[in-house]
Structure 1
Amino acid sequence: MPDPRPKTESNPFTHNVRVVLVGTQEPMNVGAVARAMRNFGMSELWLVAPEPRVVADLEARPNSDAYRLAVHADPILDNLQRAETVLEAVGDCQLVLATTARSRDIPVGRLAEPREAAQAVAQVAQRGKVALLFGREMYGLTNEEMDQAGLIVRIPTAPEQPSLNLAQAVLLLAYEIFVATANPPPPPPERLAEREALERLFKDLESYILEIGFTDSKRFGYARRRLRRILHKAELTPAEVQMLRGLLHQSRWYAKHGPREG
């Protein structure tokens, strides 16, 4: 039986996959993540609001724990990007995938296991950027940070030890994506809207449902998450996002001025 694993030559699609670490607390984990990324052809690393000791360690090279753990992945650390918010780090991405070990009542994104998620990444990465969100070592991502993702991944584990080390989680997903991108499914027929454009639509819609009384402040959180989930499932294109925002704008105008004359 032939070996189903991909060969180790460079895969251009994995370079479209961005790893985003949110609120990272341990410098050694940053180095281990960089090493895992380089193992599987990924090169773009972002840190969102890292702890001060992580920043200090990265700046302390050559006496840096992160660089010591990176093992030949120094270029990834040399070129990593920093951001203050998740949206700043993923705004230009067509697919955002978030990882979690917790169950949530209303997950905004579609739930998937690693292999299924890797297929979705491999499909979108042929046309645009994909971001993989990983949370803090102690408690992961907040609900608000998770809401930026259209796809949510839970890695199955034994109940005795349900959580993975940060670098282990990156390694596992990076491997699955490496395999999937070696023989990817057909790309989406159209380029998907970037996350920043979707967020503008979400904000428009969320203010609109309060304006028209569709919901109130007490029930707003529930309605907000449900509507985001519906729109994530739609996999909107840039033109579709603009059309929906235009519809909201026109309906506001109509409510204020009435029908146009002529």
Structure 2
Amino acid sequence: MSTNTDTKTIQPTGSFRAIPVAVPENLTNIRVILFEPREPGNIGSVARVVKGMGLSQLYLVNPVPFRDVDAAWYMAHGAKDILENCHVVPELKDALEGIQYLVGTTHRRRDVRLPQPVPAREAAETIATISQDKQVALLFGREDFGLSTDQISLCQLTASVPMATKNPSLNLAQAVQIFAYEVFTASLNEYPLSEIDYAEVNALEEFYERVTRLLDKVEVTPYNEDWETYLKSLRRVFSRAPLEARDIATLDMIFSTTFRYIERLEKKVEDST
């Protein structure tokens, strides 16, 4: 990694900033996703953060009504265009459309079968690298609950803000501000293009669903019939190396062929009885 002097940037116009900095172009490939935000003021504040840190993609999953709430627009001062043009979707999978790398944010350590969080600054370098030519998303949970275990399991990486207190807690907009700032400053450096053609997050989930159906078809029985733990372990196995689109296609061919073979055997048994 080296200081970037030649990388593509978006030049600002009419700036009043104390330290003028060209906006790195890779920031257009980064999406901020808020899952079920409950406070209109927080939504407006996040829109302001998105605009201030050179980002442009804001997705809201099943948010509280905010379009006609004054607090949302007041807190979005200077970023009303972001608030007006944000994408409101009913389900998380809709917000993940086209995303190849998902980073979940959390302040808690999780099940050992899930990826453990890294510091926000470390995650920002990963995001800055991958977003040079791929779509990356930062996922933030509800103000009261954060992200669920199921949502964390969707992520290739989880990250947290190191804090001095034993009970760390940040306002939603504060958390987005810290991550967005770290991503912005990391993006000022120069990174090589990633050679990995990451499979889209939604494609990975569809793949895991097909694996689960196949396991059910061949009557695999996990220890103590604990399917939840078993599937977490299975995800951990596949996550040891990034899965590319071609990897999914190869594995799908194996699983679909196996599935069809089992169905043919079942039909033979049925016809013989």
State the TM bucket, normalised to the shorter chain: 0.7 to 0.9
- 1:253 aligned residue (260, 263, 273): 260
CA shift at 1:42, angstroms? 0.5
Amino acid at match of 1:203: E
Contact 2:105 2:159 in 1 (8 A): yes
Q: Secondary structure at the match of 1:58?
A: coil
Instruction: Give the match for residue 186 of structure 1.
Output: 192
Instruction: Give the match for residue 95 of structure 2.
Output: 89
Contact 2:103 2:157 in 1 (8 A): yes
The reply on whether 1:101 has 2:107 as its aligned counterpart is yes
TM-score by length of 1: 0.87
CA shift at 1:209, angstroms? 2.2
- 2:67 aligned residue (39, 58, 61): 58
Instruction: Give the match for residue 203 of structure 1.
Output: 209
Q: Secondary structure at the match of 2:139?
A: strand
TM-score by length of 2: 0.84
How far, CA to CA, are the matches of 1:7 and 1:117 in structure 2?
A: 25
Instruction: Give the match for residue 137 of structure 1.
Output: 143
Contact 2:129 2:191 in 1 (8 A): yes
How far, CA to CA, are the matches of 1:91 and 1:141 in structure 2?
A: 19
How far, CA to CA, are the matches of 2:133 and 2:191 in structure 1?
A: 12
The reply on whether 1:33 has 2:46 as its aligned counterpart is yes
CA shift at 1:106, angstroms? 3.4
Deviations 1:18-69 (A, max 9, x none): 1101110111111111111112100111110112xxx2x3234xxx211111
How far, CA to CA, are the matches of 1:118 and 1:230 in structure 2?
A: 25
- 2:155 aligned residue (132, 135, 149): 149
How far, CA to CA, are the matches of 1:184 and 1:17 in structure 2?
A: 16
CA shift at 1:253, angstroms? 2.3
Instruction: Give the match for residue 120 of structure 1.
Output: 126
How far, CA to CA, are the matches of 1:107 and 1:68 in structure 2?
A: 42
1:61-72 equivalent positions in 2, closer than 5 A: 64-72=70-78
- In structure 2, do the counterparts of structure 1 residues 67 and 234 end up closer, same or farther at CA, with 3 Å as the change threshold? same
How far, CA to CA, are the matches of 1:196 and 1:139 in structure 2?
A: 23
Instruction: Give the match for residue 15 of structure 2.
Output: none
Contact 2:26 2:128 in 1 (8 A): yes
How far, CA to CA, are the matches of 1:44 and 1:137 in structure 2?
A: 20
How far, CA to CA, are the matches of 1:128 and 1:74 in structure 2?
A: 27
Q: Secondary structure at the match of 2:21?
A: coil
Contact 1:119 1:184 in 2 (8 A): no
Higher alpha-carbon Rg: 2
Considering only aligned residues, what root-mean-square deviation do their CA atoms show, in Å? 2.1
The reply on whether 1:46 has 2:50 as its aligned counterpart is no
Contact 1:27 1:65 in 2 (8 A): yes
Contact 1:134 1:141 in 2 (8 A): yes
- In structure 2, do the counterparts of structure 1 residues 144 and 58 end up closer, same or farther at CA, with 3 Å as the change threshold? same
Q: Bigger CA drift: 64-73 or 183-192?
A: 183-192
Residue ranges of structure 1 left out of the alignment (5+ in a row): none
CA shift at 1:180, angstroms? 1.4
The reply on whether 1:162 has 2:171 as its aligned counterpart is no
Amino acid at match of 1:82: V
Identity of aligned residues (%): 31
CA shift at 1:107, angstroms? 4.8
Contact 1:119 1:185 in 2 (8 A): no
CA shift at 1:7, angstroms? 5.3
Amino acid at match of 2:227: F
How far, CA to CA, are the matches of 1:41 and 1:190 in structure 2?
A: 25
Residue ranges of structure 2 left out of the alignment (5+ in a row): 5-18, 266-273
The reply on whether 1:21 has 2:38 as its aligned counterpart is no
